[in-house]
Structure 1
Amino acid sequence: MHAWPASEVPALPGKGRDLRIHDTATGGRITLDPGPVARIYVCGITPYDATHMGHAATYNAFDLVQRVWLDTKRQVHYVQNVTDVDDPLLERAVRDGHDWTELAERETALFREDMTALRMLPPEHYIGAVEAIPGIVPLVERLLDAGAAYELDGDVYFSVESDPHFGEVSHLDAEAMRLLSAERGGDPKRPGKKNPLDPMLWMSARDGEPSWDGATLGRGRPGWHIECVAIALDHLGMGFDVQGGGSDLVFPHHEMGASHAQALTGEHPFARAYVHAGMVALDGEKMSKSKGNLVFVSALRRDGVDPAAIRLALLGHHYRADWEWTDQVLADAVERLARWRAAVSRPDGLPADALVEEVREALADDLDTPAALAAVDRWAAAQSAAGGTDEGAPGLVSRTVDALLGVAL
């Protein structure tokens, strides 16, 4: 599976700062100090609908992580999956009378278009669950052989008790885990499971549903969590720098994925930092495909909204905050974009070297985009009021906003 084209990231004078970021597992900020190549895995879409603002906010956050790393002169090894076979996708295909593969391909293509328009840096490896199945099957077999998994009526489940570190990502109690498991694709009430929280690794073939050869597992398809584990281990290995996604993935997805990997390898941790973006709401409720309360990036683009304004609307909120999308949020972003473009369109301006460092410092401080935007606002206001004589300043501001914030002025 191919990703989308990369926009050029301008080089800035000097060097960026190491990123201090909130780690869900420890509950506090840690300083990320990758080697020459920083490694990040971000969980991708289940492609049964177009990219909504909640998706865009999540991928914007991890695009910023990459940009901060690139500014420190590191390379970035970014991996993202596509869950191109799963119950929600199959259910939507049946509901709408579509072939599930065509639905997945169409929505994945639209996602690529949205990411390109928003200038999100593409992953080096963009892997679908279906193409990962040959690598998933041996992992499930290994977990069975190690006693970390068991069969139940032809399905294979992971035993959460096989990982002594289970629970160290989310720090939830058992009751909270059971409730979230039931809400987010688990089956805690299924009879015969060793532990209600045990997640499925391999689902045996069901009538009318797609299935693949699972060698000793029989025909079937993979569970959600083992998909990401197989892809991450194959392309990044254990102990990569950041596992990213929305806050709704903390449990069960990231908790279970960590335990799968740790049981497979005997190593800990799966990722050095677990980083999660907040949820975007509409009309008082979290945007979700199940509720249908969505604002789509593609619909805004069709209505003529500049993708740079959409991105500025996202940047106006701290990535970890839960916030609400409104018409005013977009209007404010459109107005900010116009002010910034007017400020950099002048042939000369106020010196901007200090601004570059302000933006760097704000982003290094747990991706504080509101502070970064405020810094650019101050420069633009002063530029509008008085201007200056530095011929290189407008260009430097444009390159800074593009390189670090992903907004083309």
Structure 2
Amino acid sequence: MSPSQSTPLDSYAMACRQLDDAAAHLDIDPGLLERLRLTEREVTVNFPVKMDDGTLKMFTGYRVQHNDVRGPFKGGLRYHPDTDLGEVRALAMWMTWKAAVVNIPFGGAKGSVQCNPKKMSRGEVERLTRRFTWSIASIIGPERDIPAPDVYTGPQEMAWIMDTYSMIKGQTTPGVVTGKPLELGGSLGRFEATGRGVVIAAARAARHLGRELENMTVAIQGSGNVGGVAARYFERAGAKVVAMSDSGGGVYNPQGVSSAKALACKNQYSCLLGREVAAEDISNEELLELKVDLLAPCAMEGVLTEANAAKVRAGLVVEGANGPTTPEADAILADKGVLVVPDILANAGGVTVSYFEWVQNLQNLLWSEEQIGQRLEEIMGKAMDEVLAIAGEKKVSLRTAAMILGVNRVAEATKLRGIYP
């Protein structure tokens, strides 16, 4: 199933099912469970943007705030033509659990705009970003809700958001977003954080299986901020990246694909296929079914499904994307003995270093890249150990174990705060 075939509502249903699976192992009051299931606030905005040809075009954007019991709302902003409210609702819920799993003081939120930035000029994307920021400015802020990069957004979009918000507030406010350029208060290591965290989680999981990343074969679906960075860190760890892909397709070479050449081709030609890369062309669907030691889905949600899970030949799946595996696929992979490191743990490096950036902004600090890397290793490693311990104790999958850890922390914080008035 391609990402476009996975309906937004399916993502939210999947998130709720994962919540119920975790709650079955916890003593949670039904009323509290219902609170955890529902979002706190959902904002839909329709706004005009002046296009390069002088015409006005309407766009729809969303910001969903799921839960802020443990701290300000936190979550990325994606630009994608297929996004919808149901998808964003699920992603916001996953952000809540993700922040709780790595035990950082954030809640969960997510945002999106229905658009295709690949078919828009830089000026059009800037005007869209600034107008969307103006539309949601009343509900974001350094102590309220902090957006960050996601699919098809990056440091430049965050810079535009920060500048627009700062103009509205009348003062420079770098803490309103994370994932900014270094020149505007961004953190060293933030761009690499999610992909690097995927490799940290993969290394811990490999050791749990009695392996090391060195000489393991790896297939990566996705070559953006997560997949592209993960490829480089896998190579540094001694693993052999044999396949990579982007939205248009992928490349495969059993002897190893040079991630540097593949990503250079992507930057130059907007695709990985052919173009100086010594590899054969494959589809995204074929990449998921390659015989490799480790599969890292790092693109969109809903790519591992009941239809293709039985064809997965990797022994270890590490989810760099949010929600890439459906519950039906989870069950099939478990029956096959495949170890799945879930998204709320595997890709938590991004929100972790976002927290570091936020702290630096609030306190006017600048940590070194070495400090960032060390702190990230410590936090991701501790979370991985806690999840593995819960999985062993309760005889559940790593996904259910991670959900138990995250949901329990949010539930306990909710009970301690109480209900007011």
* TM-score, normalising length: structure 1: 0.36
Higher relative contact order at CA 8 Å, sep ≥6: structure 1 or structure 2? 1
Larger Rg: 1
